[in-house]
Amino acid sequence: MNIENLIYQELLEIANQRGIFLDFVDLPNKIDGFWFYIKNKTDAIAINRVLAGNKRNFTLAHELGHSALHKNSNYNVLTNGGKLDEKMEAEADEYARILITKIKKNLRKEVTLNIQK
């Protein structure tokens, strides 16, 4: 198993732990994924099923970022005529970078511990 897949497994686990509904669906080429939230009802992420590897990981981490940061914002690209909020997109990107870096660090620690055993 390569590192991209290990990171992917961790991201799936995080989504699962947070009770986020996750699905891989057919989307237009330009759309990598989106987060869909209705207070007390739906916390869901859809990822374009054609994505793979790092691109899929980053997209999933980015949408996890929206879920973690933007629940009080009423931010919904779907009902907003497809318009993106640049500030919130930048925040989700930053969250994704930090989350993936953290996962990599933890994986490295695990590998080191296994070698020492």
- In 13-82, DSSP assigns E strands to 21-25, 33-38, 42-48
CB atoms within 10 A of CB 70: 18
The smaller minimum CB distance to Zn ion, of residues 18 and 108, is found at 18
* Nearest-CB residue for Zn ion: 92
d(CA 54, CA 56): 5
Taking CB under 5 A as the rule, which mask of x and - marks residues 72-101 in contact with Zn ion?
-----------------x--x---------
The smaller minimum CB distance to Zn ion, of residues 4 and 89, is found at 89
Strands 21-25 and 33-38: unpaired
- Residues in contact with Zn ion, counted by CB under 5 A, come to a total of 2
The smaller minimum CB distance to Zn ion, of residues 64 and 92, is found at 92
Site residues (vs Zn ion, CB under 5 A): 89, 92
